[in-house]
Amino acid sequence: MGKNINLSTRILIHSSVGCLAGLVFLHPVSMFIFNIYGHNTMEHFFDPGHLLMAVYFSLLGGAIGFFNGLYIHKKTLLYKEIEILSITDELTSLYNRRFFTSQLGKEMEREMSTA
């Protein structure tokens, strides 16, 4: 499924991207909506209210990124567990026929490439 990324790295990446997305996308969209309603937002762009709104959007994006990172990490762990359960017997934890056929194909390919 890709590289193994630990939980803290995944959360840091997703939260950072969320903060950046909140600042880069949500704040300009809100400024555009204020412009539609007749407020001249460009002359008040650095007002404390607008800067506070940018901070809120950044925090909102970071929180969404945090929970998204947790969700993706849990989904990855569950996918790995399902892969292991699909090739082992539930009671004995021995490998089953699916594992045997997949390993047989890999070993045959390896033997053909070395011969």
Each residue's pLDDT, cut to its tens digit, for the chain (115 residues) gives 457 788 889 899 999 998 888 888 877 777 777 777 766 666 666 677 777 888 888 888 899 999 999 999 999 999 999 999 999 998 998 999 999 999 999 999 999 998 7
> pLDDT at position 25, please?
82
pTM of the model: 0.68
Residue 31 lies in a domain: yes
Residue 1 lies in a domain: no
Cα pseudo-dihedral 98, 102, 105, 106, rounded to 10 = -160
| Cβ atoms 19, 60 nearer than 8 A | no
- Domain containing residue 55: 7-114
Alpha-helical runs (H) found in 1-115:
7-21, 27-36, 48-87, 97-114
Residue 2 lies in a domain: no
Overall domain count for the chain: 1
Residue 24 lies in a domain: yes
